[in-house]
Structure 1
Amino acid sequence: MSIYRSDTSAARMERLGPNTSDRQRTTSKDVRTEHDVLEMAILGLLKDQELHGYELKKLLGETLGPLSSVSFGSLYPALARLEAAGAVKAVEANRPIASIPMTGSLGGERAAYRARGVIRGSRGKKVYGITEQGQRLFEELLVADAQSAGDDRSFTLRLAFARHLPPDGRLSLLERRRAQLVQRLARTRQTIKAGRERLDAYTRSLVEHNTETTERDISWLDRLIAAERSSARRGDRPAAKRSRQTAKTEDSDR
């Protein structure tokens, strides 16, 4: 357990106090989980290369998915937390930043204008890099159990960075996720069985769709687990991923 995670957990509980309601504690836990997911994604991307805040935002959107809605308002506080904890470092850089494309909507243009203002300021000149403390924190977050309502996104993110896990860690991640889905499938089937007569056709079709989706996910995990076990028997290692900067350089040279 890192100093950063222990300190923030203790401080958070102290702020909540002994008389805090279960709902408040649950809300605090959910916020911490959201922070963990974002911080893990930031650290995972910085393991590949140092990045501007704008570049981080763009890559976070690609990594966390289109529904993640990572904004500068959540990104920079996360970077500030990580920097204060010694997990990331910020250095000045002179390399150019890509322009923000026009969105075609008034709200989008306003957001783009505000983002351009941020980039022109001091933040836009910073390049963030991961530290040794950040490496340890990333490893801690990567292997942590995902028990919140955000399991789906948390698992997807962990799988995206699974190349950084040892073979037994990857296998544990996949097996734990499979067990979660098996439990989810059992609950869904019980819901269908208990409420089939009360559900209208549309609600029932949604429940059945969720069941089929979960079944497909379990089959997919079975294939991944089998491949992981086969790879472990052969002593294979996951191929190292090229840094995005290397890929950009190679593409520009063509």
Structure 2
Amino acid sequence: MSSAWEAVPSVTNVTRGLLGQILLTAFVVEVLLRLYISRVAYLWDPWNCFDLLVIGAALLPGAAVFSVLRALRPIRMIRLTRGGPRPIPGVVTVTGMLVLVTYLAGVIATDLFRALAPQHFGHLGRSLWTLFQVTTGDNWAEIADAVMAERPAAWVFFLVYIVITTYVLLGLLLAVVVKGMAEFFSDQNAEASHAPEPAQTDPTSAHQDTALAQQLAALHDEVRTLRLLLDRDIPKPARAIDDLEST
């Protein structure tokens, strides 16, 4: 029996090592594909350089201590905050509502269940901590059972609280964040699609414009020359009248 229990850690370690190798292989393939597609531009992103550092350290022989760096890769998710302050007002509003509901429920639970389950609702601070556990789903059934053993109707309180906090407010919080990010990326795509394209000069049209300008200049010179000839050859009206009077 003891040998069977001793074999469990070894099997667990083998499974964990196998999963680690599979994940490392997937990370390496991801980096290679990104390098193949983006080329040198891949290195312009600091997060890509971070990935290279983490994966390179994990590939070094005898560098098992650096494998803990792979756990830091999820911090790349903070890039989603580039959506700016758009979802912040909604997040603050929903968070305030969640805090208010939790506080009111804590006051009510302390008054109702203090004598029934003092280990969970002995005072307001303990009640708030217990309700936080209920919201996260951490052993909330055991807490509810301990209270319902003394007061069966307590299930109404827990049901209403869980529905409001876990399903309504937390779902609303997630919806606000997702909506804000979706609007941000939609605006970015709209700006990119409506951006004016740089004007391109056509060599043929430029040559035609130059030739037309030269022709206009030549025509202007010819008109000016013709006017000079006319002014010289044709007498003016006053001179013509003087000639008639003299005759």
More helix by share: 2
The higher-RCO structure (CA 8 Å, 6+ apart) is 1
TM-score by length of 2: 0.24
Which of these two proteins has the greater Rg computed from alpha carbons? 2
TM-score by length of 1: 0.23
More strand by share: 1
